[in-house]
Structures are given as structure tokens and as C-alpha cells.
Amino acid sequence: MDTAQQDHLLQVKGLHKSFGSHQVLKGVTLDVPSGSIFSVLGPSGAGKSVLLKCLANILHPDAGQIRFDGAPLDPADPLARRAFQRRSSFLFQNNALFDSLTALQNTALPLEQTTDLPDRIIRERSLQALQQLDMEGYGNHYPGQLSGGMQKRLALARAIVTNPELVFFDEPTAGLDPLRRNAVFAMIAQYQRRCGFTALIVTHDVVEALIASDRVALLEQGRICFEGTPAEFSSSSLPVVCGFRDSAAALERSLAEIRSSLPSQ
Amino acid sequence: MLHVLGRQTLQVISGFGDFAIFTGASFRSITHARRLPRRIFRAVYEQGTRCLPVILIVGSFTGLVLGLQGYYVLNRFGSEGLLGALVSLSLVREMAPVLAALMLVGQAGSALAAELGIQRNSEQIVALETMGVSSHGYLVAPRVLAALVVFPLQTALFVAVGLWGGSLSGSLLLGVQPGIYWSSVEEAVGAADVRECFLKAATFGLLTISLCAYHGFNAHRCRSATGAQAVSASTTLAVVQSSIVVLVADYVITSFLV
């Protein structure tokens, strides 16, 4: 195993995924450094969620190679798959919390079902995870009794309770207002530093991702068009990067044009 | 025409295969599911308590009606003394397993299909898989194993309240001596009848709860609808197919045992 492999927790090479005749991923290649926050940016429909689900073993890629901690990940091998799942977690866009379980039971679920730890230890570790996410005192609340932000934190508590090395975040800020978007990215950055996991985020929120991430990649039409630091992304002159980076400004310009073309009342 | 018939036949066969694989996966997951007894007890409690009132009501009224109908038929031949035998054999061999199963499908089966369908829609089932938790072992296997306990128990309860209903209408309302009624019950029902009753109940439990779980679990594969409508369509399909399966399986088991 060379040094590059050791430094990169997740390495993806030539990943392809199609649904029928529709090719979603067309040879995605990227390297996620250990202990970093890595954001994959891209417009809606670029294949970000499909990429994340392929990496998290929810979908099986048609071709390509995924290496986790230097070792190739074979989706067809159930033992390797289970070992990978024990070392990673997935935070869903809609949190995917069990609404019939309390916050404490939701947090304890992965430990209860994947380890033989005694109930007392599971309870302690679950309470500790809730405490890390500033949710002590909410253990007996059901997800429906919590606010959107707290549900997100609860989902993160469930994701980190097993001490994963890698956490996947699927559009963690989808449908949130700018203030809440900032809060979610700040939360991810804060707890990533506190817990030390590697975070792989897919999002289309450019500004927040550039502030919170150590590295970013741009996925466009099923291919990685750019990979680098946020500073490199901000200064890149690649047309596709400029187009995406400046999309907000372009939208504003289009709106101004539409407004000016409307007859004044 | 032939093309359509062929395609539909293949779909039915493929559906049977898919269901068999699903049920097999659920039983296979028992070997590595953690804290399974706790989940089974919970499922037994949920299925049992949910269906208890309806079993008591339907069971007692079935017994009452059997007692009334049976009395007037037997009265024509002067054989009112056999009322207990008529009520008990009707209940034990056929009515209790079938009606209790249909009630359980309507209550526990439909609730299970809807619950799993919603869990599928809200990605809770995928979330389990990403945690390395077997969704079959966590969600399906405990329910199927619980059904193997709950269906026979509820059927036994159905028989008990049905016999009491028969005695109520036969003895209290129509004048058959209680001693004659109950001794007729005791003489008529043999061990083979009880075995048949429990065998039917357990088979219906296995088939219907697996079928309801299968439809809920695969709500996202519903062809005719998506989202909440897919959950609704899957639940309806689960209840309809389970009810048909109960009647078909009843005929098959009876034809082998009679």
C-alpha cells in the first residue's frame, strides 16, 4: 500500500452507473483525504445522490473501483460490505429517523443491532452521542416532537454513535433557508472536528460548502470536472466551474432582465 | 391475446418466486439477527392486543349464530343433543382458523403492510441497510415468527368464545341442557381436529404475515402508483391477496387432512 492510498480514506476510480439506457455516472474518479470534509458540488440531476449511494453501497455501480482505507470494496462480498458499513454512516436528506422510536432509541439502534454490547454500555454511549450533539434532555422525545434542526442533529447523533471513520451526507441542507443552511454546515464542521470522522457531502449550496470544506469536487453530467481546495475552486477559470460558481449571480441577472422587460404598472 | 396471457402468467410465476425469495431471506436473517427475542415479544404483543377485541366479538357472534342455525336444523331430526358437536367441529375444523386469520389480516396484516410501506418511502429501510442492520431480520422476521404464535393463540381464543356463544344461544335461549351441550363438545372434538386447527392457523399466519410484509416492504416497486398512493395500493393488495390465500390454503390443507 503506497502513501497516497494511506492518506486517502476513500478512492474512487472510473465509476459508472446507468439506469436502463440513462447513463448517470460516466467514469467518476476522486480521492477523499482522511479526516477531511469533502464536498461534491453539482446542479440537480448531475448524479450526486447516485454517486453517494454507490459509494455507500446502497446502489451497485456497473463498473469502476472503490477503495476504502486502501482495500478494494467488493459490493458482491457480504462480509466486506458489512465491515465497510460498520466503519461508515449515512445521513439521509430527510434524516430517515424511526418515528416510533424515541431519540435515545433511535441513537441506540445501530449499536443494539450490530454489536453484542450490554444494554448499559449502549445506553451510556447513546447518551454520550446525544450529549455531543447538545441534545441531552431530549432522549425521551420522539422525532415528531423535535424541530427540523434538532432532527438533523439527532440523525447525526445516530450516525456517529458507532464511531464511524466516514460519514456520508446526502444534501444535508436541501429545502432549508439560508440561515439554517449555514447552521447545518457549521454543525457538520464542528462535529467533524470534535469526532474526527471524514465527511463526504453532496450538495448544491456553493457558498456554504466552500466555507466548510477542506476539498471540493464538481460533478457535471456524470463526470468530475474539477477537484481541489475551495480557494482553487474560487479562482478557477474553467468554464464549467465559472458557470456553476456564478450561477447565483446569473440567476439574479436573468431576474433583473425579466423585471426590466415587464411593462411598468 | 396469447402474448398478453403469456406475459401475465410469467409475471405471476415471477411474483411467486420473488415472494419465496423474500420469505427465505426473512428466515435466513434469523441466524444473524440480534436481540431477536425482544423484537418477537414486542410483535406478539402488538399483533395480539391489536386483534383481541375483534376476535372476541366475531368469535362470540359466530358461536351464537352457529348455535341458532344448528339448533333449528337438528331440531327437525330430533337431534338437539348434537348441537355441541356441530358447533365445536364447525369452529375447530373450519370457521375459527379461517375467520380468525381473516380478522388478523384485516388488523395486524394491513397495519404491517402500511407501516413497512411508509418506512420504505421515508428511507428508513435503506437507513437500516446502511447501518449494517438486516432489514429482514429487524423488521420482517420478528413479525413472521410472532404470527406463528399469535395466529394459533387467537384461533384457540376464537374457538373458546365461539363455543361459549353456541352454548349461550343453544342452552340459555333455546333450552338445550348445558351438560348435554358440553359433553357433546367433549365427545366430538378429537386430537386430530385440534392438530388440524392449529396447523391451519400457523400456516395462515406464516403465509399472510409474510405476504403483507412482502407488499409493504416492496411498496416502492408498485407499478400503478408512487408515494402515499403506492403505500395505499400495496396495503390493499396485501389484504386482498392474503384473504384469498387463506381460503385457498384452507382448501388445500383440508383436502390433504380429510
Chain A residues with beta carbon closer than 8 angstroms to that of B34: 112-116
CB contact under 8 A, B127 and A110: no
Per-residue cell: A143: 422525532
Residue B155 has a pLDDT of 96
| A86-123 tens-digit pLDDT | 899 999 988 999 999 999 999 999 999 989 899 999 99
Instruction: Report residue A236: phi and psi, to 5°.
Output: -65, 140
Instruction: Measure Cα distances from B95 to B3, B66, B178, B239 in Å.
Output: 41, 10, 22, 19
Average pLDDT value for residue range A46-71: 89
Residue A198 in any domain: the answer is yes
Compute the half-sphere exposure of residue A240: CA atoms within 13 Å on the CB side of its CA.
14
Per-residue cell: B252: 388445500
| A175-216 tens-digit pLDDT | 777 777 787 888 888 888 888 899 999 988 888 888 889 999
CB contact under 8 A, B122 and A96: yes
**Into how many domains does chain A fold?**
1
- Residue A18: other Cβ atoms inside 10 A: 15
ipTM exceeding 0.85, yes/no: no
Domain parsing of chain B, residue ranges: 2-257
Residue B222 has a pLDDT of 82
Averaged pLDDT, groups of 10, chain B, 258 residues long: 89 92 93 90 92 94 95 90 93 95 95 95 92 92 96 96 94 89 93 95 96 95 85 95 96 89
Give rounded-to-5 percent helix, strand, coil for chain B.
90, 0, 10
Which residue of chain A has the CA closest to B123? A96
Confidence of residue A2 (pLDDT cuts 50, 70, 90): very low
Instruction: Report residue A78: phi and psi, to 5°.
Output: -60, -35
Distance from CA of B151 to the nearest CA of A (A): 25
First vs last C-alpha separation in chain B: 40
d(CA A111, CA A118): 10
Q: A163 and chain B: CB distance < 8 Å anywhere? A: no
Residue A113 in any domain: the answer is no
Distance from CA of A4 to the nearest CA of B (A): 27
Which residue of chain A has the CA closest to B120? A96
d(CA A50, CA A61): 9
Chain B residues with beta carbon closer than 8 angstroms to that of A89: 130-131
Please say whether the beta carbons of A91 and A155 come within 8 A.
yes
Residue A166 in any domain: the answer is yes
Confidence of residue A12 (pLDDT cuts 50, 70, 90): very high
Give the CATH number of the domain where residue A185 resides: 3.40.50.300
Chain B residues with beta carbon closer than 8 angstroms to that of A88: 130
| A130-180 tens-digit pLDDT | 988 888 889 999 999 998 888 988 998 999 899 899 999 998 887 777 777
Residue A60 in any domain: the answer is yes
The boundaries of the domain holding residue A199 are 3-98+144-250
CB contact under 8 A, A92 and B127: yes
Distance from CA of A2 to the nearest CA of B (A): 29
Residue A135 in any domain: the answer is no
State pTM to two decimals: 0.85
Distance from CA of B197 to the nearest CA of A (A): 35
- Res A5 pLDDT > 70: no
Residue A52 in any domain: the answer is yes
Residue A111 has a pLDDT of 94
